[in-house]
A and B are shown apart, each in its own frame.
Chain A
Amino acid sequence: MEVYEKIFASVAAAILVLFLGALAYGALVLKINLPGHGEVISPGPGENLAVAVLKTPPFNTPGVKQVSPGKYEAAIMAQAWSFMPAEMDIPAGSELTFKVTSVDVTHGFFIPGTTVNMMVIPGHVSLETYRFEKPGTYLLLCHEYCGMLHHTMVGKVVVK
């Protein structure tokens, strides 16, 4: 019986190692990555977080900007219960980098059907890039509870 125990444990361990290998492959080779360490927004003494955010580029001019051919960057502010801007338009095939921060509570930033899925935490900038190949309208949801009307906090990405 001890033999069976050992066989079972080794097979189990081998499977886990295999899975981890697949995850590392996905991260390093396929470049499917989690959001990493982003910038920090610190209000000065006595200053409100919302004021500090509005002074910090790129959130002083929220919206979508082209940074180079086929590459766009969106600066988005999340606040209960809307995204600002709530709609982003880009041409199909382009790469869009989202820079998101919150002026009040923790929000979510989730576009179903893509790998855009982040938490938006007050005082931090969340960063994620995604290439939108297919034209269409993508739903943007706040998927972290943020108060009474949390379920109404939505936006969209329109890819033409």
Chain B
Amino acid sequence: MSTPVVYGANRPFDLPSAQRRIIAWTIYVGFFALAVGVANGLAQALNYAHVDIFKYYPGMRTYYQGLTVHGVFNAVVLTFSFANGFVQLTMARGLNRPCNDFLLRAGFAALVIGAVLAAYAMFAGKASVLYTFYPPLMAHWSFYLGLALIVISTWLTSANLFAMLSAWRREHPGERIPLLAYISVVTYIFWDISSLGIAVEVVLLLLPWSLGWLSGAAPLLSRTLFWLTGHPIVYFWLLPVYISWYAMVPKQVDGALFSDAVVRLVFLMFLCIIPIGFHHQFVDPGVSRGLKFAVAVLTFTVFMPSLLTAFSVMYALEIGGRRRGGKGLLSWIFKLPWGNPSVSAQVLAMLAFMLGGITGLMNASYNMNLTIHNTAFVPGHFHLTVGTAVALSYMGIAYWLVPFLEQKELWGRRLGVFQAWCYFIGVLLLARGLISGGLAGMPRRTAISLVPYQEPAGWRIAGMLVGVGGTLMFIGAALFFLVLFMTVLFGRRKEVRDIPFTETIQPPQSRGWQVTMDRLSYWVAFSFVLIAVVYGPFLVSHLPPRLVAQPFQAF
């Protein structure tokens, strides 16, 4: 007795083809950003191996200009575009109703205009402030305005999701929200709350400052607002991928999701525990140790939903592997459809995420942070998470999504499988290099090929691994673009009616405690209260802002 995770599973998915085009283009904007991002990534990886190819990149004056483009394009433009496009689609499928046309278009427009503005500032060399843009490094106003518009595009996307949900609820009073729609909308509610920190920082402090309307910058306050959003942003990168891992991958491997309630619980835990950004400020002055330790404890708490995910998703895979004839404790793994590039890319992404999760826990470990803060260990960690668990999953999702959006057959399935392995092996080497280098004191965000000192033991070999691994990742990504390009331009016409979605073995209950999970306003209120408790005293004591720092633009 299993239940589909969508409403109207047996009826055709009615998404107007004009909306399908906009969703497709939203996602292509993201992949275009990824293409630019990985081109810079290659140069960065080779830099750590003491090969300076940056000087051959047109328009890139410094290492840091390229690094800014890499961070902003990969971690902001790619992820936000993909999330906007993908989650509007999953919401539409979850409720089986079309999007609001105006909001869909407005979100796309804000995204494109924002990305163009930010790109202009970065390529003109007027915003080499990295994707964290800590003041008083001051970028051109178009950089801040561009970022603000990109965030606004996610809010417009949320508005679309809310409009769809409330219309559906009016037609279905008292019914449980279909799981796919539930996790889609919770992802965006979570993000809307999380994004307030950066919104306040950019709109009230940085943008007016860059236009000359404020007398200075408040470095610590800005950092704090940045990380108020900058921590949960990593879950905003991740949750659309969780949607795929929970609701789609089980179907793709002939398995099923076990429990509806656990998935809702996982997403709610993310929504409830937002205010832990201080763990990025463990070694900042001006933040008390008590607060730092409290936040370390909270951070460990949000490790729970990811552990639950590991369990649920692995079980869903196991159901699939066994249904496909797998036996034994572990040999069902070999029965998974590894020849399907969408599956192999995402299962490899999950493996990378395990390593990423463990290294993340190390970062979060209060005083252990003293050995790794701002060393190469940190990019070593997050190329396993956002750089692979997320980015490689996007590629895996694209292998069914693009055929659906274009109504074309995927070109180069075998190449797709190869691409995923190449990227995966690449990131293992790159991360191994960055992590061991970091433990030997190799700093991140540093043009290592140009440093004026004798490098300590261990950096050279670490740097070589980074160079080799980064090159493999680059090749893997380039092959992905080849597959994408060929599919979109030359793929054979083929009707693809629906997107994959799974069923749950334990369906949602229509009475009892589970129903409270759908009363979203309760959880939103709880989330705000926790933010107020953790951030309130700090923020109040920093008001009015001490605008002590003068602009700095030597980049």
In the complex, residue of chain A having the shortest beta-carbon distance to the beta carbon of B62: A148
Expressed in whole angstroms, the Cα–Cα distance for A125 and B288 within the complex equals 13
Judge if B293 is at the interface, Cβ distance under 8 Å. yes
Q: Is the CB of B284 within 8 A of A119?
A: yes
Q: CB within 8 A of B370: which of A49, A115, A123?
A: A115
Mask, B243-254, CB within 8 Å of A = 1, is 000000000000
Judge if B552 is at the interface, Cβ distance under 8 Å. yes
Mask, A9-32, CB within 8 Å of B = 1, is 100110010011001101100001
Q: Which residues of B contact A48 (CB under 8 A)?
A: 550
> Which of the listed residues B262, B285, B288, B371 has the most CB atoms from chain A within 10 Å of its own CB?
B285
Q: Which residues of B contact A20 (CB under 8 A)?
A: 296-297, 300
> Known contacts being A49-B548, A118-B285, A152-B452, is A113 close to B554, with CB within 8 Å?
no
Q: CB within 8 A of B285: which of A104, A112, A119?
A: A119
Q: CB within 8 A of A34: which of B137, B292, B307, B443?
A: B292
Judge if B369 is at the interface, Cβ distance under 8 Å. yes
Q: Which residues of A contact B537 (CB under 8 A)?
A: none
A-binding segment of B167-175, B186-194, B359-367, B392-400: B359-367
In the complex, residue of chain A having the shortest beta-carbon distance to the beta carbon of B361: A19
Judge if B497 is at the interface, Cβ distance under 8 Å. no
Expressed in whole angstroms, the Cα–Cα distance for A145 and B283 within the complex equals 15
Judge if B108 is at the interface, Cβ distance under 8 Å. no
Q: Is the CB of A148 within 8 A of B307?
A: no
Expressed in whole angstroms, the Cα–Cα distance for A104 and B555 within the complex equals 14
Q: Is the CB of B289 within 8 A of A104?
A: no
Q: Which residues of A contact B64 (CB under 8 A)?
A: 145, 147-148, 150
Mask, A127-144, CB within 8 Å of B = 1, is 100000000000101011
Q: Is the CB of A123 within 8 A of B443?
A: no
How many inter-chain residue pairs (CB < 8 Å) link A and B?
Answer: 195
Q: Which residues of B contact A146 (CB under 8 A)?
A: 137
Q: CB within 8 A of A105: which of B128, B136, B448?
A: B136
Expressed in whole angstroms, the Cα–Cα distance for A8 and B305 within the complex equals 12
Q: CB within 8 A of A13: which of B258, B304, B361?
A: B304
Judge if B514 is at the interface, Cβ distance under 8 Å. no
> Which of the listed residues A2, A145, A152 has the most CB atoms from chain B within 10 Å of its own CB?
A145
Q: CB within 8 A of A113: which of B63, B441, B546?
A: B441
Q: Is the CB of A151 within 8 A of B446?
A: yes
In the complex, residue of chain B having the shortest beta-carbon distance to the beta carbon of A26: B367
Nearest CB of chain B from residue A121's CB, rounded to whole Å: 5
Q: Which residues of B contact A24 (CB under 8 A)?
A: 293
Expressed in whole angstroms, the Cα–Cα distance for A158 and B130 within the complex equals 33
Judge if A67 is at the interface, Cβ distance under 8 Å. no
Q: Is the CB of B445 within 8 A of A139?
A: no
In the complex, residue of chain B having the shortest beta-carbon distance to the beta carbon of A17: B300
Q: Is the CB of A123 within 8 A of B220?
A: yes
Nearest CB of chain A from residue B38's CB, rounded to whole Å: 21
Nearest CB of chain A from residue B377's CB, rounded to whole Å: 11
Judge if B517 is at the interface, Cβ distance under 8 Å. no
Q: Is the CB of A27 within 8 A of B293?
A: yes
> Known contacts being A36-B289, A80-B552, A143-B446, is A122 close to B374, with CB within 8 Å?
no
> Known contacts being A34-B367, A110-B443, A122-B549, is A139 close to B456, with CB within 8 Å?
yes
Mask, A84-127, CB within 8 Å of B = 1, is 00000000000000000000111010101101111111111111
Which residues of B in the span 270-298 have a Cβ within 8 Å of any Cβ on A? 281-289, 292-293, 296-297
Q: Which residues of B contact A49 (CB under 8 A)?
A: 548-550
Q: Is the CB of A154 within 8 A of B453?
A: yes
Q: Which residues of A contact B447 (CB under 8 A)?
A: 150-151
B-binding segment of A37-45, A56-64, A69-77: A37-45
Judge if B223 is at the interface, Cβ distance under 8 Å. yes
Expressed in whole angstroms, the Cα–Cα distance for A127 and B286 within the complex equals 10
Nearest CB of chain B from residue A74's CB, rounded to whole Å: 16
> Known contacts being A23-B368, A106-B219, is A126 close to B285, with CB within 8 Å?
yes
> Known contacts being A1-B258, A49-B550, A124-B286, is A115 close to B366, with CB within 8 Å?
no
Judge if B440 is at the interface, Cβ distance under 8 Å. yes
Expressed in whole angstroms, the Cα–Cα distance for A157 and B258 within the complex equals 58
> Known contacts being A16-B304, A122-B136, A145-B130, is A34 close to B283, with CB within 8 Å?
yes
> Known contacts being A1-B258, A35-B285, A38-B285, is A112 close to B441, with CB within 8 Å?
yes
Q: Is the CB of B262 within 8 A of A5?
A: yes
Judge if B407 is at the interface, Cβ distance under 8 Å. no
Judge if B444 is at the interface, Cβ distance under 8 Å. yes
Q: CB within 8 A of A121: which of B63, B220, B366, B442?
A: B220
In the complex, residue of chain A having the shortest beta-carbon distance to the beta carbon of B262: A5
Expressed in whole angstroms, the Cα–Cα distance for A152 and B446 within the complex equals 9
Q: Is the CB of B293 within 8 A of A147?
A: no
Q: Is the CB of A151 within 8 A of B450?
A: yes
> Known contacts being A19-B361, A20-B300, A35-B283, is A145 close to B367, with CB within 8 Å?
no
Nearest CB of chain B from residue A88's CB, rounded to whole Å: 16
Mask, B427-457, CB within 8 Å of A = 1, is 0000000000000111111111011110010
Q: Is the CB of B303 within 8 A of A16?
A: yes
Judge if B96 is at the interface, Cβ distance under 8 Å. no
Q: Is the CB of A112 within 8 A of B440?
A: yes
Expressed in whole angstroms, the Cα–Cα distance for A87 and B284 within the complex equals 23
Q: Is the CB of A12 within 8 A of B552?
A: no
Judge if B375 is at the interface, Cβ distance under 8 Å. yes
In the complex, residue of chain A having the shortest beta-carbon distance to the beta carbon of B448: A151
Expressed in whole angstroms, the Cα–Cα distance for A110 and B376 within the complex equals 13
Judge if B522 is at the interface, Cβ distance under 8 Å. no
Q: Which residues of B contact A150 (CB under 8 A)?
A: 64, 445-447
> Known contacts being A12-B304, A49-B548, A154-B453, is A123 close to B446, with CB within 8 Å?
no
Q: Return 18 A-B CB contacts under 8 Å, by A number.
A: A5-B308, A16-B301, A20-B296, A20-B297, A26-B366, A32-B367, A37-B287, A37-B288, A37-B289, A40-B546, A104-B550, A106-B137, A118-B283, A119-B285, A123-B548, A141-B441, A143-B375, A144-B134
Residues of B at under 8 Å CB distance from A? 62-64, 128, 130, 134, 136-137, 219-220, 223, 258-259, 262, 281-289, 292-293, 296-297, 300-301, 303-304, 307-308, 311, 315, 361, 365-371, 373-375, 440-448, 450-453, 456, 546, 548-550, 552, 554-555
Q: 16 other contacts beyond A80-B552, A118-B285, A123-B220, with CB at 8 A cut-off?
A: A16-B301, A23-B367, A33-B289, A40-B546, A41-B548, A43-B548, A105-B136, A106-B219, A106-B223, A112-B442, A119-B284, A139-B456, A143-B446, A145-B64, A147-B552, A148-B554
